[in-house]
Amino acid sequence: MKTLLRIDASIRRQGSFSRTLGDAFVGEWKHRHPQGEVLTRDIGQEPLPHLSDEVANAFFTGARELQVLALSNLLCDELKQASEILITCPMYNFGIPSTLKAWFDQVVRANETFRRDGYQYEGLLHNKTVYIIMAMGDGRTGLRTTENFEYYLTDTLAFMGIHDVRIVTVGGTATRSFTDGWQATYQQSISQLLNN
């Protein structure tokens, strides 16, 4: 059975372009996988804590059973359980939302999602696909900021062994009306994302 982990990072509940397309994506995914399970982690509404020294040290030296690792264990287990992952994600101040960075800080973890052997690193997550629906106010294409945003996500996922990363960007949301039928334009992109 397929499992989709959906992670939402927008601080908006209403009027969010990334969440709305995420809903369309999940609708189509469920249609294709009627028996599939969808796990949700809404880090926009329930932000994750920043990494602490205690937690980071426990990543490298502690036993998995340590209480301080409970949140990281939960997030790592969700990620490992999922065959597909959907991240809906706005651009805030030229980067990813800080709560999404906090999520990565909890799951990029030695012996859970990657392994180090001397100077070699090996990702431990295999056969997973990540779909990213990104929304940004700026409508210009070819911006270095957009490339940096995508590089951060693809490089970090690749470090954990996930190389199949598919991205749809909804640009120019600052000048779009939420009610002007914008969604129809992206319905095809959602299907293509799942078809590839």
Give pairs for 176-179: CB < 8 Å, separation 24+: 176/17, 178/15, 178/17
Given the complex with ligand FMN, which of 92 and 114 has the nearer CB atom?
92
CA-nearest of 128, 42, 34 to 88 is 42
Which residue of 135, 153, 157, 162 would you call a contact of ligand FMN, by CB under 6 A? Answer: 135
- Based on the shown chain and the rule CB under 6 A, indicate whether residue 92 belongs to the binding site for ligand FMN: yes
Given the complex with ligand FMN, which of 9 and 82 has the nearer CB atom?
9
Which residue of 5, 7, 16, 169 would you call a contact of ligand FMN, by CB under 6 A? Answer: 16
> Which segments within the chain are labelled E, that is strand?
3-8, 37-42, 84-90, 114-117, 120-123, 129-135, 164-170
- Based on the shown chain and the rule CB under 6 A, indicate whether residue 129 belongs to the binding site for ligand FMN: no
Give pairs for 60-68: CB < 8 Å, separation 24+: 60/110
Given the complex with ligand FMN, which of 61 and 177 has the nearer CB atom?
177
Determine the Cα–Cα distance for residues 28 and 33; give it in Å rounded to an integer.
Answer: 9
Which residue of 4, 5, 7, 18 would you call a contact of ligand FMN, by CB under 6 A? Answer: 18
CB of 173 to ligand FMN, least distance (A): 3
CB of 116 to ligand FMN, least distance (A): 34
Q: What are phi and psi of 128, to 5 degrees?
A: -120, 150
- Based on the shown chain and the rule CB under 6 A, indicate whether residue 47 belongs to the binding site for ligand FMN: no
Determine the Cα–Cα distance for residues 182 and 196; give it in Å rounded to an integer.
Answer: 23
Residues at the binding site are: 10, 16-18, 91-94
Which residue of 61, 93, 120, 141 would you call a contact of ligand FMN, by CB under 6 A? Answer: 93
Burial category of 190 from C-beta neighbours within 10 Å (exposed 0-12, middle 13-18, buried 19 and up): buried
Q: Which stretch binds ligand FMN (CB under 6 A): 27-35, 98-106, 111-119, 130-138?
A: 130-138
- Based on the shown chain and the rule CB under 6 A, indicate whether residue 91 belongs to the binding site for ligand FMN: yes
Virtual torsion, Cα 114, 62, 64, 72, nearest 10 deg: -60
Q: Which stretch binds ligand FMN (CB under 6 A): 62-70, 73-81, 85-93, 109-117?
A: 85-93
Which residues have CB under 8 Å from 178's CB, separation 6+? Answer: 15, 17
- Contacts with ligand FMN, residue ranges (CB under 6 A): 10, 12, 16-19, 90-94, 135-138, 173
